[in-house]
Copies of this chain bind each other. A is one copy, B any other.
Amino acid sequence: MMEKPVTSIDTIAKTCIAGRLRLLNRVVTGIYDDALRPFGLKISQGNILILTGKLGVASPVQVCDYLQLDISTLSRNVELMRKNGWLEDVPGEDARSHPFRLTAAGKKLIEKAIPAWEQAQAEARKLLGEEFVSLLNTAAKRVSEANRR
């Protein structure tokens, strides 16, 4: 007969999902940040830039919904990128909303940084393994759907 397992400190250390995910996040973020450093760009901002580029005109709520980011976090991130000249405000009908878009400099930055991103992506893929990367897609989709409900 199996005993009901008692969760020990050791078990947590060995199995905590958050712990592992956070560790991988630190390592992988480091890989991309290293690669992007010559451009004065970090992957945290890079992902916002890219999404903005995809959206054309982006509203904070929309970006936060995609990225599962707190809106206050985005607010300050966008402010930095505006100061860097990569994003600009777009006047909108609803005065509550402050949409933004890429500037020419922002677009140029992305183009210049793509080879570095590709290199980081290759390194991360190699480190994590193909299988993990493909499940990452699945998991990310699941999470997005779960939060869209």
Check if B29 sits within 8 Å of A136, measured CB to CB: no
Asked if B138 and A135 sit within 8 Å, CB to CB, the answer is no
Contact A47 to B16, CB < 8 A, known contacts A23-B67, A27-B147: yes
Residues from chain B with Cβ under 8 Å of A19 in the complex:
43, 47, 50, 67
Instruction: Please indicate the chain B residues that have their CB under 8 angstroms from the CB of A29 in the complex.
Output: 18, 21-22
Q: Which of A1-45 contact B (CB under 8 A)?
A: 7, 9-10, 12-13, 15-29, 31-32, 43-44
Binding site of A, secondary structure by majority: helix, strand, loop or mixed?
Answer: helix
Residues of chain B with a CB closer than 8 A to A104's CB? none
Interface pair B133/A17, CB less than 8 Å apart:
yes
Picked from B53, B114, B117, B132, the residue with its CB within 8 Å of the CB of A139 is: B132
A120 within 8 A of partner (CB): yes
Q: Is A69 an interface residue when CB atoms closer than 8 A count as contact?
A: yes
A31 to B23, CA, bound (A): 16
Name the distance in Å between A142's Cβ and chain B's nearest Cβ.
Answer: 7
